[in-house]
Structures are given as structure tokens and as C-alpha cells.
Amino acid sequence: MRLARFLAMAGVASRRASEELITAGKVIVNGNKCTNVATNVDPDTDTVTYKGRRLHIKKNIYLALNKPTGYACTASDPHEKKTIFNLLPKTDRLFSVGRLDKNSEGLILVTNDGEFANKLMHPRYELEKRYRVYVTGEIVNHAINDVSRNGITHEDIFYKTKNIEIRKRTDNGGVLHFTLTEGKKREIRKICKALGLTVRSLKRTQVGDLKLGELPVGSYRELREKEIEALIKLTKSK
């Protein structure tokens, strides 16, 4: 396999960043400095080192987490005391596939496979994500339908959903099911605010065909092989 791919699979950096490390002469192959990005290596027989450490291909990790409210998805903010990574196994370079804001809960994917994560997050693939949202305020049918058909602008930002479904009405609010394919910051909350609604709770229930199911809040599980293959297939269908 190409050296840059090997570096990426070993958790050093993304494939593009790995190519830069190679051209900068920072990677050693079988005792010799390598600067040719077209170099191929055999993981079983060749010795590749970076910063004096011999590299090995890491086992890819794919997890589904039911994120609780109050937990951030960042691993880099020192001011966040509660992050989803406190709930996950201690291993190198785990990161979330997209984010849920701190006050939201539900399904989030976590992996150490950067290529997998980048593909799922790329807008080109329009990965569907579904949410159950409890709101207060008057739910107006034609306003909800108009957002689904034409989108809505709030604070000079345009938002477009795949679908909004009214699932339940109460005396002062109800339950909405949102389906999104883009991931703008606090998108559902902004749309609801533009509609005169207040979000009381927001839970992501599905990513692609992967459903949250009965996974307890704060718990995680490994994805099954068929689930991983189904998600990868989505990135090859467009």
C-alpha cells in the first residue's frame, strides 16, 4: 500500500497531511529517509518509523454512543470538564463524526478512522440524520410545511431541512421529527426559534440507517460489521 495510506491507518495524520510529512523527510522506511509520496510499503515486512517510533496499523474502532445532555463533543477545549470522551474507552485519536451541541442528546458515532469520518461528514453524501424534538409554542402547519419545502432564513443564515413531521400536539407545543442532511451549528434550535418555538429537548435518533434503539443514555456499543458496511456504502452511492 502507499506509504501515506499506511501512515493514516497507523493514526499519524490524514492521508494528505501524511504526504506532507513524507515530502518533508520526516518518515523513515527500513532505516532510510523517504521523501517520495509514491513509495509503497508492506505492513508485514517493512519497518516504518516516525519521530523514532515504529508504526503499526491500528485496529479501527467504530462506536455508537448515546450522548447525554451536558457533555461536549470536543476533545480540544481545556475548559470543558465533561466531554463524550470521558464516557469512551481510553485510546488514541478517537473523534466524533460530526457533533451534537452540549444541550442535545442521542446518537453520535465515534471512530479512529479519519477517512471513514471525513466521508460521512462530507455534504456531498447528504447523510440523513433524524431527531426527535420537544417544543413549546404554537405549531403552525403551513409554517412547518414551508420550511420543509423552501427552507428558512434566520439571522441572515439560510437553513434547509429534508423534512419536518409533526408527531404530537399538546396544549402548548408538541413533538416534531426533523430529518437533516446538513450540519449547521445549532440548526434545529435556530429553525425552531424562527418559527416562534422553544426547544425543550432534542435527541438524535438515527444516522443513515443506524438507529439509536434501546442503547442507554451515556452508554456506547461497537458497530456491527454490517452496520459499518452500510454506512460506507452510503458514501459510494453518490
What is the DSSP-derived secondary structure letter of residue 2? B
All domains of the chain in start order, with CATH: 3-54 (3.10.290.10), 62-124+214-234 (3.30.70.580), 128-207 (3.30.2350.10)
Backbone angles phi, psi at 193, to 5 degrees: -60, -40
Phi-psi region of 31 (alpha: psi -120 to 50; beta: other; left: phi over 0): left
pLDDT at position 238 is 57
Positions of the chain with pLDDT under 50: none
- pLDDT at residue 64, rounded to an integer: 97
Helix (H) or strand (E) holding 226: helix 225-234
Residue of 44, 92, 101, 113 marked active site: 101
Our answer to whether residue 42 is catalytic in this structure is no
Residue 22, strand partner residues: none
pLDDT at 16: 87
pTM of the model as a whole: 0.79
Helix (H), strand (E), coil (C) string for 105-132: EEEEEEECCHHHHHHHHCHHHCCCEEEE
118-139 pLDDT, tens digit per residue, is 888 877 778 899 999 999 999 9
